[in-house]
Amino acid sequence: MKNNLYLLIDKLASEHSLSCQEYELLLDGRTPELSEYAAKKAVELRQAVYGNDVYIRGLIEISNICKNDCLYCGIRHSNKSCVRYRLSEQEILSCCEEGYTLGFRTFVLQGGEDPFFTDEFLCGLISNIKNKYPDCAVTLSLGERSFQSYKALFEAGADRYLLRHETADPDLYRKLHPENMSLENRLKCLKNLKEIGYQTGCGFMVRAPYQTNRSLAMDLKFVEEFRPDMCGIGPFIPHAATPFCEFPSGTLEETLFLLSLLRLIDPTLLLPATTALGTIDANGREKGILAGANVVMPNLSPVDVRKKYELYNNKICTGEESAQAKEALSRRMEAIGYKLVTDRGDRKEC
């Protein structure tokens, strides 16, 4: 006999929408069986749009210098023990070159909010990459910038922008960030990105400190209404040199359930199985794909800076998560019935 929660999963799979309260009921009532049911439906929907293809993105961590002070983040401004670095344009271009040879057709430039990254510098960098690799997409993940700046970067050739909203719950947002940051501005940035024409990604952490199921339900409702092209989620993992060092990590099971619900909300969503998921479980990324994700983002940063881009403790950065280990990743995906593809991996329309 199916109970009401299974019927809610069915409803989400067919209507792609629930009320905030219904999302909360699902999160409160999560069991291994319910998760399995949601994952099965999620995989069916993903299969219909993307088949067995898994898209890859080469992640280049271009700087860990950040003017912000997000309480959860290991590269926050006030972490004096963080050894700071910034890649030069030449170093970034070398990463792209290596990535291209390995079969990557999307480069994700991610970093802290480093004031060195003026529009002038970034526009030059983006047009250089696009001229060299016209068949590749460039994704930026460089935090909050002005409308004008986002527009200039888009006109220079950037295709996508990732800006996790972090939480759609205003009270929680205030607990996770210093006073000079606001959910209002974060959401305005996301709206601007979409309006300019970027393929836009939002996202949130799972089990950030003080996060309740109500907060997570608000995140699901936000994704449902905002309709991003991408959504990055991963478990919160504490970093020893932050105020949240004593809080526990989010769990694999809960993150997988949320991935399935996101897939049910949007069958066409570009949904990564993130590094944080791979950090809390050795097979986290495969499990993420089996829960409904369809993207992985191996690390293409120069090996000596990977450890320094430490958003949270024990971030995987020396083994099979790296771009250089693409063959190993490819075999792991084949073992679960999926195929890594050499493709820009744009979002498909239903």
Q: Rule CB under 6 A: which residues touch ligand SAH?
A: 72-73, 110, 112-113, 141-143, 163-164, 166, 205, 234, 236-237, 239, 276, 311-312
CB of 277 to ligand SAH, least distance (A): 10
Residue 231 makes CB contacts below 8 A (sequence gap 6+) with 201, 202, 203, 223, 262, 269, 270, 271
Nearer CB in complex with ligand SAH: 50/312: 312
User: Measured between alpha carbons, how far is 6 from 277 in angstroms, rounded to an integer?
Assistant: 25
Lay out the sheet containing 272-273: strands in order across.
272-273, 295-296, 53-56, 339-341
Query: Which has the closest alpha carbon to 286: 328, 318, 250?
Result: 328
Nearer CB in complex with ligand SAH: 9/200: 200
CB of 74 to ligand SAH, least distance (A): 6
CB of 310 to ligand SAH, least distance (A): 9
DSSP 325: G
CB of 239 to ligand SAH, least distance (A): 5
CB of 245 to ligand SAH, least distance (A): 10
User: Measured between alpha carbons, how far is 156 from 123 in angstroms, rounded to an integer?
Assistant: 5
Nearer CB in complex with ligand SAH: 50/72: 72
CB of 230 to ligand SAH, least distance (A): 12
Nearer CB in complex with ligand SAH: 103/243: 243
Angle of helix 119-132 versus helix 89-102 axis, rounded to 10: 30
Nearer CB in complex with ligand SAH: 260/275: 275
CB of 43 to ligand SAH, least distance (A): 25
Nearer CB in complex with ligand SAH: 45/199: 199
Nearer CB in complex with ligand SAH: 112/288: 112
Q: Any idea which residue has 């003026």 for tokens?
A: 118
- 175 class by beta-carbon count within 10 Å (0-12 exposed, 13-18 middle, 19+ buried): middle
* Integer CA distances (angstroms), 253 to 41, 149, 191, 237, in order: 16, 39, 31, 14
Nearer CB in complex with ligand SAH: 236/257: 236
DSSP 70: -
Alpha-carbon dihedral 331, 337, 340, 344, rounded to 10 degrees: -170
CB of 262 to ligand SAH, least distance (A): 15
In one-letter notation, the amino acid at residue 79 is: N
Q: With contact defined as beta carbons under 8 Å apart, do 273 and 285 qualify?
A: yes
